[in-house]
């Protein structure tokens, strides 16, 4: 009787160890964007203009649709012209 119990236990352990294991989902690597001189300018403007009033948010913190009204509102507050704002917007969009 003990032998049968041991054999059944070992067989169960063997079957359990051979079963397929679930693997954790591998998080997606963030895409790496090569920053052109124009994008570097936008990044610098974002850093110097926006940090004056609040902490800098990661561009990935919001979607393009969410960034649009934020950038419009902040352009007025930071008194940025359209060229500078386009540079900042291009930088943020390049990171999404």
Displacement of CA 4 from its chain's centroid (Å): 55
Q: 30 vs 90, which has greater pLDDT?
A: 90
Neighbour-count burial of 7, counting CB atoms closer than 10 A to its CB (0-12 exposed, 13-18 middle, 19+ buried): exposed
Beta strands in the chain (DSSP E): none
Which of the 8 DSSP states describes residue 33?
A: P
Q: What is the pLDDT of residue 33?
A: 74
Give the pLDDT confidence score for residue 35 in this predicted structure. 86
| Residue-level pLDDT at 3 | 76
pLDDT of residue 40: 92
Interatomic CA distance for residues 96 and 33, integer angstroms: 10
| Cα–Cα distance measured from residue 7 to residue 12, given in angstroms and rounded to the nearest whole number | 9
Question: Which residues touch 56 (CB under 8 Å, ≥6 apart)?
Answer: 46, 47, 50
Predicted pLDDT of residue 82: 94
């Amino acid at each position: 009787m003990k032998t049968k119990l041991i054999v059944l236990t070992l067989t169960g352990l063997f079957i359990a160890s051979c079963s397929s294991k679930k693997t954790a989902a591998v998080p997606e690597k963030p895409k790496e964007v090569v920053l052109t001189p124009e994008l570097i300018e936008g990044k610098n403007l974002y850093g110097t203009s926006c940090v004056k009033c609040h902490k800098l948010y990661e561009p990935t913190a919001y979607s393009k649709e969410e960034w649009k009204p934020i950038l419009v509102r902040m352009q007025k507050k930071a008194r940025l012209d359209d060229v500078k704002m386009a540079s900042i917007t291009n930088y943020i969009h390049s990171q999404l």
